[in-house]
Amino acid sequence: MLKMIPPMMFAALCFLLSASPLRAQGMAIDPATCLGCHGDKVSASAFTASVHAKNGCNSCHIQLTDLSKHVKGTIKMEKVRCERCHKKENAEHYASVHSRKEVSCADCHTDIHSHQYWKKDKRIVVAKCIQCHDHEAVYRQSIHGQTVAAGNQDSAACNDCHNLHDIKPMNDPKFKTDRVFHTKVCLRCHSDEEMMKRNNVFNVAAKTYMDSYHGKNYRLGYPEKVAGCSDCHTAHSVLKASDPNSTVNPGHLVETCKQCHTHATSLFTQFYAHGDHTDRKKYPLLFLTYISMVILLVGTFAVFWVHTLLWLYRGFVENREKEALLAEGAVAHVPDGFRQYRRFNTRHIVLHIMVMVSFLGLALTGLPLKFSDQELSKLLMALFGGAANAALIHRICAVITFAYFLSAIAMCIHFLFIRKDIPGNWLERLLGPDSLCPNPRDVQDIAGMIRWFFFKGPKPTFERWTYWEKFDFLAVFWGMFAIGGSGLMLWFPEAFGRVLPGWMFNVATVVHSDEALLATGFIFTVHFFNTHFRPEKFPMDFVIFNGQVSKHEFIEERRDQWERTEREGGTEKLAVEKRSGVFSDFFFKGFGFLGLSLGIALLFMMLYTFIAALH
């Protein structure tokens, strides 16, 4: 090396070394000294303008403690250790995939002697990354790559998804399971409404994704079970849907959807992937469905909650009146008042237990999905062992629901056309007192109850079925059409997608979700009150578990049925021995209270969610 240095330059270097005030003070060697030899490789002007200009050469090349020895070639040069200054970046790089692949700082920062501060210019990052990656220019041809190249700093560059130094491996089990590169990194930008609006990008993409079945599972912590953003849009070749090469272009949708839905058809692909049911102009049918369901929800709850509140107060007053009369001995004694009479048969009890089990199962597994942004929902999903198990339980309960519904239809047919103990033809039976079909008598009972609520008349004396019980029964038929029908569509989308356009699944999602909310809200408030929480029944009516009522209750609650049955000479046929023993009584009461408790807990969950949403 010494032979390559001209004698005059060597002499100058020795003089600078011996006379340098910097060296005498123990400071860095003057870069001008080094450039005397290395000026052919390091541009003095470029280095002076670089971010490292304020450092001396031996700030990085720390082995250069003696310049004369370096000139003589006796100092062994070692690899520069950037971590001496860049500790944070080094720590991130150490745990990155680049470190595992032995990609060092200098492999990316090749311009170390002329390195400029990047000023957050994403074009510089992309230029560095494509030195090794993107040989086919997939990213550069994407909408992200094109807009970054045009200088748009909002568009996604490599570091926005993969970071600058803390670059994670694609096959890392943790990141593969969490699907970080499928959805999470996309949401960083696309959930920023201000950024999306600034760039004229569909700014509700993140919201509509989170409102979908896929997004809800992602939010609950099971992203590996559903499609993420890049599954449809790809990771690097993201293009506008209008671009013929885009994976979400209509010409490629069938192929894209078939990645998950293997039997997808062109009809199936008419699904609104980012359909917003609140957007009246863009999705009028979804908006109409949503508004219709809101009106149904608000109307139903308004009517029945007012009915419940009026009954609650009037029943409380009546109970106080009864207590006063009882204390005065003015209550008429019912002879043999504790004798038991049959109200329900075994098949009715079994069907009601099926209803309870399936409904609570559906609510426990469905509501966490609807309210997926709540921590309690995540806890419930964890208790089920994950979203997949919850979905399995939900579908098992759906099968039970269809089973009891078909049984109810069979019982209706038997009642109308087969039974021999009820007089009249099928129409007379349909509108008769033993039928659950509404008839003019119900209008009279409703008017009578309203008068009673306002202290304008006596409480109606009911027949076998009250108007609220008939409503509960008929609601099952509407519910099976709305919830059951939409649920089947969502359960078997590919089968229905062969004959129905994909946007029907968007409609089915709105109907299924809101009708389920109506059903659970109604059961856990109105039905619970009508059956168990009204003052004369609180805390629970167990008739549905043993099928029996006392004579006192029979006459008190359904006097008209009692009197009709007596006229027909049938009361003795209804008389039974007390059915339940100690164990069965304990079991069914425990089961009943468990059902009530779960229902009330879910009700509070819904109320909490709505209150949280208002804030």
Helix/strand/coil for 222: coil
Least confident of 419-423, 433-437, 458-462: 419-423
- Asked whether the predicted pLDDT for residue 588 surpasses 50, the reply is yes
Query: What is the average pLDDT value for the chain, to the nearest integer?
Result: 88
| Helix, strand, coil share of the chain (percent; to 5) | 65, 0, 35
Integer-rounded Cα Rg, in Å, for the chain is 38
Report the half-sphere exposure of 1 (CA within 13 A, side-chain side): 10
Q: Specify the pLDDT at position 10.
A: 44
Which of 151-157's residues contact partners 24+ apart within 8 Å by CB, and which partners?
151/123, 152/199, 153/120, 153/121, 153/122, 154/189, 154/195, 154/198, 154/199, 155/122, 155/199, 156/189, 157/122, 157/123, 157/125, 157/126
Q: For residue 176, what pLDDT band results from cuts at 50, 70 and 90? A: low
Residues of the chain above pLDDT 70, percent: 93
Q: Which residue has the tokens 């969610």?
A: 609
* pLDDT one-digit tens code per residue, 440-485: 999 999 999 999 999 999 999 999 999 999 999 999 999 999 999 9
Q: Specify the pLDDT at position 73.
A: 78
Helices (H), 418-558: 426-430, 440-453, 467-479, 485-491, 493-496, 503-522, 528, 543-546, 551-557
Q: For residue 112, what pLDDT band results from cuts at 50, 70 and 90? A: confident
Environment class of residue 539 by beta-carbon count within 10 Å: exposed (0-12), middle (13-18) or buried (19+)? exposed
Is residue 298 within 8 Å of 304, Cβ to Cβ?
no
List, in order of start, the domains of the chain with CATH numbers.
2-76 (no CATH), 87-236 (no CATH), 284-614 (1.20.950.20)
Q: For residue 600, what pLDDT band results from cuts at 50, 70 and 90? A: very high
- Asked whether the predicted pLDDT for residue 430 surpasses 50, the reply is yes
Q: Specify the pLDDT at position 615.
A: 67
Report in angstroms the alpha-carbon separations of 537 from 256, 466, 546.
57, 15, 16
Which region holds residue 137: left if phi is over 0, alpha if psi is between -120 and 50, else beta?
left
First-residue to last-residue Cα distance in the chain: 75
Q: Specify the pLDDT at position 582.
A: 81
* pLDDT one-digit tens code per residue, 71-92: 777 877 778 888 888 999 899 8
- What is the DSSP code string of 350-370? HHHHHHHHHHHHHHHHHHHHH
- Asked whether the predicted pLDDT for residue 20 surpasses 60, the reply is no
Q: For residue 36, what pLDDT band results from cuts at 50, 70 and 90? A: confident
- Asked whether the predicted pLDDT for residue 603 surpasses 70, the reply is yes
Q: Specify the pLDDT at position 56.
A: 76
Q: For residue 403, what pLDDT band results from cuts at 50, 70 and 90? A: very high
> In whole angstroms, what is the distance from residue 505 CA to residue 509 CA?
6
Two structure tokens written together for 124:
């510089």
Q: Mean pLDDT highest for which of 88-92, 171-175, 180-184, 343-347? A: 343-347
Environment class of residue 149 by beta-carbon count within 10 Å: exposed (0-12), middle (13-18) or buried (19+)? middle
Residues in CB range of 258: below 8 A, 6 or more apart: 264
Q: How much is the pTM?
A: 0.85
* pLDDT one-digit tens code per residue, 487-526: 999 999 999 999 999 999 999 999 999 999 999 999 999 9
- Asked whether the predicted pLDDT for residue 26 surpasses 60, the reply is no
> In whole angstroms, what is the distance from residue 492 CA to residue 496 CA?
6
Task: Read off the pLDDT of each residue in 257-261 and give the average, rounded to a whole number.
Answer: 94
Mutual angle of helices 375-384 and 346-370, in 10-degree steps:
120
Q: For residue 17, what pLDDT band results from cuts at 50, 70 and 90? A: very low
Is residue 168 within 8 Å of 180, Cβ to Cβ?
yes
Least confident of 125-129, 264-268, 286-290: 125-129
> In whole angstroms, what is the distance from residue 485 CA to residue 502 CA?
15
